[in-house]
Structure 1
């Protein structure tokens, strides 16, 4: 591997190839659904071609081999010499897996593990036409890949292989054509040099006939117009171009000053040494169409013709960079500093409220506006579209559907919804579990769906949308839905509930049983599901993200899982409360409502304190007894504030001493002595300068309730 190359070049390859490979997985699955989409076929061909070019520059031969074979397959497909089918896609997707694995090895500067020879052989077999191709098509075939590859020629370089093919084609033409006068003596000087005739032919291939032509050869057709004297004056009747003409050729290829001055002896060696770093828009254009499209006057022009085939230099002028690559650690550091600024702002707002100085109020107000704008701007730099997560699911659903012999269509909406980079990465695994669950448990087999009057092809919908400072994610399917009675029975069998308690569960509470540890409705364990660990992991992970999960289902119609997570994990809106003389912060996402309560009106149900609000019963917890030392023996107050908090479909009431108000806080990790404290998510500094612990509601109830 050529990792001794410039690190910046390697990083550019990793960024560009990484984006292409992410798209390829989705494009390949889309192609299986729309096999006749020529734009999609060309996009996939260009994707493999671009990755191959970058890998070839870095001498990553194993990666080049995979991409080259895949490129050949899609060249055959886009020329309609073979049809897209599931077996072909199985091989291509397996190759893509190996390409992705090698790409990760490149990222970590590891030695590449080549794809198995059998796999490459299977891919090469698919690169041959399905039937006998007509002779005309076979003759035209060599020119087509290069012409199509020209769509990415804006990037510049031709590879060594492509240049060798050009020279081979020229050599074949020379051997098959009658020997031109004086031609043999020109190439006799050495095996490694190309003759002037070959160089002229190369220029004709690159720019079209007549663009850089020398004086007319003896024996040519009489109907061609004689060359202008000023065009041929510098050649003195010889079949050579002058230094000035060669300099102009380099300028046309590279732009003014794009190549150092070449010596006359280097004129014939420049192509073989691959000195040019750029090429025209098409490597091997069709000469007949190329010449017919040009005005007749161009055929009369010599080497000093004023109308080169290249675009204008203004069009080739470099475009100023509009983006900068920044390390995520630096963004995290900036975010932490903005968090500290938010704390200072909160402190100044509290002090400003106690002051009667008008100028102080204005200054604090301006600081508030600037801090809020800065906070939003820095958060925006960390935002990424959730498409980065969604992009992997077409492949996941496709492979799982084939292994389960189901027909499933995946629909995705809201892929441009932005959320914090850390959340994008953290949501990846939970969403994979949920989508696999929908495909395995939700969607029925095609025959079963047909008997139920449904289309054979099931549908899974993945969507995202922003709601205030939260993101809502929906995973829906039109499958069998969930039967609450089956869930109740399974809960009793697994010892999660007694039978009487299970019978009292509402349907919504039954649906949430799927998130219980070890719970599964599958009777047989497979490599896909049945162990009851996936959904438990989902619930734990979403809880760690300060998010919420809820499940809706209708028997025979399908199920819907809703995930609600904050836009960012760095700054959190909270409700500040007081328990005794200590401050605590409740995440606002968990707070449903607040009211003042006469505690003498509470009830006792199953030995637990409860309150009835609008005909709904809520368990009541005095969290002061859990969190404040010495509070357990204090007498209960007659009146208190009650905060109703939610975890999924469950609602409970927390009794608190005092409500301070809503405040945005910056989450700080707990110190080593407090790490792992049940019910605590972190700490923050309040507006009055005190330290407040942030309550983790699910963990608090799990450990104390």
Structure 2
């Protein structure tokens, strides 16, 4: 059977199960008395083992099999939970994630896990797991009656003990195959363990079955031994005491019930049963298909703009109505497509508890990570990019923010520090706040570092506000670490955070109070593909300004314009803000100054500026297109869009202008 067709599903489901194991392990570590977490971990590990063995990834299957042994010992109260047990399980998850990642990249998923397997075996060997193999089967009154009735009809009754190989990974599947062979030969009337326990692999390596059949012992023996990974089969005839009348042995009600009794083999493996019961109202869709759908819709938006332009020029009422209806329908379609691309930030947040646990352990700190709003949704393209910046911010909070337990106690704090990661919607943006109750940012230390590195001079340093000083930690190469470690000190990190977030059309701000903690607030657009923009005219050229950056538009008279150090400025609501003439900046040809200034007020973080244009065209939804590899670094231009008349308008990057 060609397994490649199932590979994508295997990878995706494996990641889901590993994430579940990760989450439940984190919860179990905090409350080791609750074995419900262990059962949940066991189920995910068991399913992953079965899938891996089926797909032929033996290292994955072997490691999860050893994890199962440890988990089984824990949930049966045969193994005390201590740090070594938890660490070994966490290490196993790390190794499994590496193997799954290898498979997703086209590898074979092989990894040398001998030492890890030995560690798991040693843990279990300290307190051996009890054997759950069936040693005998109980012949109750009902079974005896059934056997008696079948004997009267000339059938044989056999007690069959099946021993699977100890190394068998898919015990339930092998048992199912044995039951399938037996069902073809006769009727199974009882098993030990029960059918349900066998389906759930609640047995060690053997089970007993009572079979009523007209087949011979030799033929049964040969048929069962044809099933792979069956080590041995013992078949013994069951002595049956023949009874003449069933009603003499049992009540009429029981006798009637016996006639309706049908005992069958396990109908499906646990994995198959899970698939059967899962809700069929959702399907998995390859993300490439969604990208193709989005590209097609972007072309539709461009053509919609063209139709609207033609409709205005022709002034035809029927055409106007049709275009208006098309615009309304395409707007609804746009909402549906964008929602299809939305992914909860949980997909990024999920990996952080483990990371914080490991970092705090390495640094000797006690830290609790609180996550709020993990169900907040963002466009997949944004989700793909936001992971690394958040990793840098978290590492910064763990290393520089949270103090050592002793230092916290001396400052009257709880020895356990808290980091809070919160996501929420606001308008057309998503905000992600990362807050800690640590030491905060030391203003003087930051200033001294930037002065030593020549990032600013002393004269400038004297004029900076606290907020401006805090923003200096985003400078390239900046670090306050006294020594280089695996966590920090190389001056790479927060500058990457700022650059990545701004490239996504977002912003990041810092608020801190020394001794009490810091808060990093990230603002991100909901989507990057289709945005609302203000179209402006400059001579014969048109440009687009994202509405997310605009505060308002204004008409400014020349007499209201002032000059400070050669820079045009205006008084905007009590604050002096600079004016930037876009025609001069972009060297627009044939530009002529009118009798007033048309100004677009834009904002980035705490900074505000006014952009001078010739006139305002109006608001429009535009499709953001990249300038490609040939024009990667055009200053203050983030992309381009195609307008309704087929002309190209460049999209201005307001963040770059203010910066």
Coarse TM-score class (shorter-chain normalised): 0.7 to 0.9
Q: What are the Cα deviations for residues 326-379 of structure 1, in whole angstroms up to 9, with x where unaligned? A: 322221111011111112222323333455443333222211221011111112
Aligned-pair CA distance for 1:391:
0.3
SS in 2 for 1:568: coil
1:37 corresponds to which residue?
Answer: 34
Say if 1:543 and 1:236 are closer, same or farther in 2 by CA, change over 3 A.
closer
Comparing 101-110 with 405-414, which one deviates more in the overlay? 101-110
Q: How many Å separate the matches in 1 of 2:424 and 2:394?
A: 18
Q: What are the Cα deviations for residues 51-100 of structure 1, in whole angstroms up to 9, with x where unaligned? A: 11111223322212211121111222222333433333222222211111
Aligned-pair CA distance for 1:428:
0.7
1:527 corresponds to which residue?
Answer: 486
CA contact (8 A) 1:642 1:653 kept: yes
Aligned-pair CA distance for 1:497:
1.8
Aligned-pair CA distance for 1:316:
11
Matched, 1:81 2:78: yes
CA contact (8 A) 1:509 1:649 kept: no
CA contact (8 A) 1:640 1:657 kept: yes
Say if 1:302 and 1:515 are closer, same or farther in 2 by CA, change over 3 A.
same
Q: How many Å separate the matches in 2 of 1:237 and 1:117?
A: 48
1:114 corresponds to which residue?
Answer: 111
Aligned-pair CA distance for 1:300:
6.8
Instruction: Report which of the two has the higher share of strand.
Output: 2
Say if 1:424 and 1:249 are closer, same or farther in 2 by CA, change over 3 A.
farther
Q: How many Å separate the matches in 2 of 1:127 and 1:240?
A: 33
2:261 corresponds to which residue?
Answer: 306
Tell me the TM-score normalized by structure 2.
0.81
SS in 2 for 1:450: helix
Aligned-pair CA distance for 1:595:
1.7
1:515 corresponds to which residue?
Answer: 474
Q: How many Å separate the matches in 2 of 1:244 and 1:76?
A: 32
Say if 1:356 and 1:47 are closer, same or farther in 2 by CA, change over 3 A.
same
Matched, 1:235 2:154: yes
Matched, 1:406 2:361: no
Aligned-pair CA distance for 1:113:
3.3
Say if 1:311 and 1:613 are closer, same or farther in 2 by CA, change over 3 A.
same
Q: How many Å separate the matches in 1 of 2:143 and 2:262?
A: 10
1:659 corresponds to which residue?
Answer: 616
Q: What are the Cα deviations for residues 568-615 of structure 1, in whole angstroms up to 9, with x where unaligned? A: 111111121112121111122222232221233333333332222222
2:166 corresponds to which residue?
Answer: none
CA contact (8 A) 2:70 2:124 kept: yes
Q: Select 1:639's aligned residue among 579, 583, 596.
A: 596
Q: Select 1:420's aligned residue among 368, 379, 382.
A: 379
1:472 corresponds to which residue?
Answer: 431
Q: How many Å separate the matches in 2 of 1:625 and 1:46?
A: 66
Q: What are the Cα deviations for residues 611-646 of structure 1, in whole angstroms up to 9, with x where unaligned? A: 222221212211211213446xx6654521222222
Q: Select 1:500's aligned residue among 459, 476, 479.
A: 459
Aligned-pair CA distance for 1:446:
0.8
The 5-angstrom pairing of residues 459-608 of structure 1 reads: 459-608=418-567
Say if 1:496 and 1:620 are closer, same or farther in 2 by CA, change over 3 A.
farther
Q: What are the Cα deviations for residues 139-170 of structure 1, in whole angstroms up to 9, with x where unaligned? A: xx333xxxxxxxxxxxxxxxxxxxxxx6xx56
CA contact (8 A) 1:512 1:551 kept: yes
Comparing 393-402 with 9-18, which one deviates more in the overlay? 9-18
Say if 1:354 and 1:63 are closer, same or farther in 2 by CA, change over 3 A.
same
Q: Give the aligned length.
A: 592
Say if 1:672 and 1:10 are closer, same or farther in 2 by CA, change over 3 A.
closer
Q: How many Å separate the matches in 2 of 1:238 and 1:593?
A: 89
CA contact (8 A) 2:188 2:263 kept: no
Matched, 1:450 2:409: yes
SS in 2 for 1:517: coil
Matched, 1:670 2:627: yes
SS in 1 for 2:621: strand
1:10 corresponds to which residue?
Answer: 7
Say if 1:245 and 1:395 are closer, same or farther in 2 by CA, change over 3 A.
closer
When the two chains are superposed, the root-mean-square deviation of aligned CA atoms in Å is 3.5
Aligned-pair CA distance for 1:502:
1.9
Say if 1:455 and 1:700 are closer, same or farther in 2 by CA, change over 3 A.
same
1:195 corresponds to which residue?
Answer: none
2:131 corresponds to which residue?
Answer: 142
Aligned-pair CA distance for 1:413:
1.0
Q: Select 1:48's aligned residue among 41, 45, 48.
A: 45
CA contact (8 A) 1:74 1:127 kept: no
Q: What are the Cα deviations for residues 190-240 of structure 1, in whole angstroms up to 9, with x where unaligned? A: xxxxxxxxxxx6xx8xxx967776865xxxxxxxxxx34xx4443257769
Q: How many Å separate the matches in 2 of 1:298 and 1:59?
A: 51
Instruction: Name stretches of at least 5 consecutive residues in structure 2 with no aligned partner.
Output: 161-180, 197-212, 230-249
Q: How many Å separate the matches in 1 of 2:444 and 2:565?
A: 24
Matched, 1:625 2:584: yes
CA contact (8 A) 1:62 1:114 kept: yes
CA contact (8 A) 2:602 2:608 kept: yes
Q: How many Å separate the matches in 2 of 1:420 and 1:248?
A: 57
Q: How many Å separate the matches in 2 of 1:701 and 1:331?
A: 35
Tell me the TM-score normalized by structure 1.
0.76
Q: How many Å separate the matches in 2 of 1:470 and 1:106?
A: 36
Q: Select 1:689's aligned residue among 635, 646, 652.
A: 646
Q: How many Å separate the matches in 2 of 1:611 and 1:603?
A: 6
1:284 corresponds to which residue?
Answer: none
Matched, 1:25 2:25: no
Comparing 567-576 with 357-366, which one deviates more in the overlay? 357-366
CA contact (8 A) 1:680 1:700 kept: no
1:680 corresponds to which residue?
Answer: 637
Q: How many Å separate the matches in 1 of 2:259 and 2:186?
A: 8
Instruction: Name stretches of at least 5 consecutive residues in structure 1 with no aligned partner.
Output: 144-165, 174-200, 217-226, 255-261, 277-294
Q: How many Å separate the matches in 1 of 2:67 and 2:158?
A: 43
1:62 corresponds to which residue?
Answer: 59
The 5-angstrom pairing of residues 170-181 of structure 1 reads: none
Aligned-pair CA distance for 1:302:
11
Q: How many Å separate the matches in 1 of 2:87 and 2:281?
A: 39
1:222 corresponds to which residue?
Answer: none
1:156 corresponds to which residue?
Answer: none
SS in 2 for 1:520: coil
Say if 1:123 and 1:642 are closer, same or farther in 2 by CA, change over 3 A.
same
Q: What are the Cα deviations for residues 485-511 of structure 1, in whole angstroms up to 9, with x where unaligned? A: 433333322222222222222222222
SS in 1 for 2:7: helix
Comparing 319-328 with 296-305, which one deviates more in the overlay? 296-305
Q: Select 1:616's aligned residue among 559, 562, 575.
A: 575
Say if 1:471 and 1:244 are closer, same or farther in 2 by CA, change over 3 A.
closer
